[in-house]
Amino acid sequence: MPHSSWLKAAGTAFAVALATATAAHAAPAPAPELTAATRVAAVVTLHYDDSRAGGWEAAIAAGVASWNRNVSNVRLVEAAPGTRAEIQIVATSGWPQATLGPVRPGGQVRVELGSQAVSQGYDKTRIATHEMGHSLGLPDTKPGPCSQLMSGSAAGTSCTNAVPNATERSRVESAYAGGLASLVPADGRTLVDAP
């Protein structure tokens, strides 16, 4: 074998050995993207009990559906009878009010759906969805337009919007990011939604 051929063969062998050694010590491959199963596992499930919210069933169901359609990392599910629920929903005769969250699994907040607001002309579904928003960590944004769910009664009795806007959705997604509720516990303040 001529000397130049031998050098070329040795150089190729060295390059292959170097590439193999480098690959063995290279940084690990990036983590694969989240699969649908991983995303489902990251969803925080919060249970609600509306057994003491007679007359509000349709509004609560619509409010739950609105939140479940509009956020992906927290899911509201009706609690089985006799089991503990993070969100206690009751019907009252006063103004709607709720404990400010974000509620964490195992924690507990209270939502009061007050008939006084309904008697003054406010929409039941907007009320229920708004009050659940407090449980998920959203404060009031008063004054505010009808397009802001958390503007509550400030939007007036003609407002029936029961869909959180992009900013509201983003704040809830952030509070429950990574499959865990925010490390900040529920605020504990009760927000009364009187005009």
Q: Find out whether 87 and 103 touch, Cβ atoms under 8 Å.
A: yes
Using alpha carbons, list the distances in angstroms from residue 22 to 7, 10, 12, 15, 19. 22, 18, 15, 10, 5
State the catalytic residue, choosing from 86, 112, 131, 168: 131
The angle formed by the CA atoms of residues 191, 138 and 48, to the nearest 5 degrees, is 80
Start-to-end CA distance of the chain, whole Å, equals 96
Residue 57 catalytic?
Answer: no
Give the up-direction half-sphere exposure of residue 73: CA atoms within 13 A in the CB hemisphere.
19
Q: List the catalytic residues.
A: 131
